[in-house]
């Protein structure tokens, strides 16, 4: 019997709190990303930047440009959240390809938590940009009759965001596992190459959708 | 047929039927985007970004079916 993809395996317990595998993997990823960023930005120079700095600048500028084009606004206030989301998702989706590790995003909890972050950030940034009353009034546009539908849309967007990420990453790993158990050692290699692409595409889509939602709440683009 | 067999059958039907609609829709979306890029190559950036977002939206339908199938197989409330 294959273990259920809907429940996360428990690694150890701290008293009543059980620490599951995705939480542990996320801690590892956080440590790697934080230490990597700290080490890479230790020696930044304006003249004659090093190789690492040039690569980092490329990443940050690409993120900046994509977010700016999507939101049609200055990306600077949103780059910390959306950029971190993208970098975390990209690394998290790709950890599934390292032998012995499993993507934390292949569990519903991680995907749900990330979608919750996006949902709360959307509300907070919307309130900050338009004021509490102005933001809440946006839910009753174009007519107050649509108020329940707009609130429902806000919640289902977050739900579909989490389910999309979870479903894609989990199904990719699931298919690789099934093909491996049916066919043998090297047969799933093309599937893993596809998973490499899909993981990055999913990270991109999650970030872009978060940018679209936040842009809609802030008012820089049409509410999606 | 007991409830297990019915669950497995229904999960298979959910995934296979649920894949048809999104597959056709994604094909149409990609075809339209290709045509647009061929006509206006300078708009390729905007088009492909919109295409990706749209594809993600369409794909969600298939993913919902997959989640229903998984619920039937692994978290069935009637077993």
B60 touches chain A (CB under 8 A): yes
Task: Count CB-CB contacts under 10 A for residue A117.
Answer: 15
pTM (global) more than 0.95: no
pLDDT in tens, A106-153: 888 899 999 999 999 999 999 998 888 888 888 887 788 888 898 998
* Pick among B60, B75, B79 to test the A interface (most A CBs inside 10 A): B60
Domain boundaries of chain B, sorted by first residue: 27-79
**Chain B: residue whose CA lies nearest to A201:** B52
B42 touches chain A (CB under 8 A): no
Nearest Cβ partner for B63 among A4, A167, A212: A167
Q: Is residue A60 predicted with pLDDT exceeding 80?
A: yes
What is the DSSP code string of B13-34?
A: HHHHHHHHHHHHHHHHHHHHHH
Quick one: which of A99, A106, A6 has its CA closest to B77?
A: A6
b vs e for A53-79, b when ≥16 Cβ sit within 10 Å of the residue's Cβ? beebeeeeeebbebbbebbebebeebb
Q: Is the ipTM of this complex over 0.90?
A: no
pLDDT in tens, A176-209: 888 888 888 888 888 889 889 889 989 999 999 9
The pLDDT confidence band at residue A1, using thresholds 50, 70 and 90, is very low
Nearest Cβ partner for B66 among A167, A201, A209: A167
Classify domain B27-79 at the CATH class level: mainly alpha
**Residue A5 placed within a domain:** no
**Residue A224 placed within a domain:** no
Using DSSP's 3-state secondary structure scheme, residue A94 falls into helix
* Domain coverage including residue A74: 10-218
Asked if B52 and A204 come within 8 Å (Cβ–Cβ), the reply is: yes
CA separation for the pair A136, A131 (Å, rounded): 9
Q: Look at chain A and report how many structural domains it folds into.
A: 1
**Residue A4 placed within a domain:** no
Sign of CA dihedral A172, A93, A121, A27: positive
**Chain B: residue whose CA lies nearest to A208:** B53
Asked if A208 and B49 come within 8 Å (Cβ–Cβ), the reply is: yes
Q: Name the interface residues of A facing B (CB cutoff 8 Å).
A: 4-7, 66, 69-70, 160, 163-164, 166-168, 171, 201, 204-205, 208-209, 212
Q: Is residue A217 predicted with pLDDT exceeding 60?
A: yes
**Residue A21 placed within a domain:** yes
**Residue A3 placed within a domain:** no
Asked if B75 and A66 come within 8 Å (Cβ–Cβ), the reply is: no
């Amino acid at each position: 019997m294959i273990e259920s993809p809907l429940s996360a395996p428990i690694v150890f317990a701290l008293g009543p709190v059980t620490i599951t595998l995705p939480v542990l993997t996320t801690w590892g990823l956080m440590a790697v990303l934080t230490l990597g960023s700290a080490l890479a930005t230790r020696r930044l120079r304006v003249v004659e930047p090093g190789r690492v700095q040039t690569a980092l600048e490329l990443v940050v500028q690409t993120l900046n440009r994509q977010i700016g084009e999507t939101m049609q606004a200055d990306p600077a206030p949103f780059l910390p959240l959306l950029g971190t989301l993208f970098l975390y998702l990209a690394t998290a989706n790709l950890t599934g390809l390292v032998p012995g590790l499993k993507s934390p995003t292949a569990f519903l909890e991680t995907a749900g938590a990330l979608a919750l972050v996006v949902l709360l950030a959307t509300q907070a940034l919307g309130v900050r940009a338009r004021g509490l009353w102005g933001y809440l009034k946006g839910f009753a546009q174009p007519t107050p009759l649509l108020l329940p539908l707009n609130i429902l849309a806000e919640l289902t967007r977050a739900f579909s965001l989490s389910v999309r990420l979870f479903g894609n990453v989990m199904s990719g790993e699931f298919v690789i596992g099934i093909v491996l158990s049916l066919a043998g050692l090297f047969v799933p290699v093309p599937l893993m190459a596809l998973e490499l692409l899909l993981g990055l595409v999913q990270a991109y889509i999650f970030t872009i959708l978060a940018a679209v939602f936040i842009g809609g709440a802030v008012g820089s683009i049409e509410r999606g | 047929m007991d409830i297990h067999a019915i669950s497995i059958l229904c999960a298979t039907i959910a995934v296979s039927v649920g894949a048809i609609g999104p597959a056709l829709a994604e094909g149409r979306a990609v075809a339209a985007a290709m045509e647009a890029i061929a006509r206006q190559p300078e708009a390729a950036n905007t088009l492909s970004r919109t295409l990706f977002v749209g594809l993600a939206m369409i794909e969600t339908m298939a993913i919902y079916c997959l989640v229903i199938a998984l619920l039937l197989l692994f978290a069935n409330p009637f077993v």
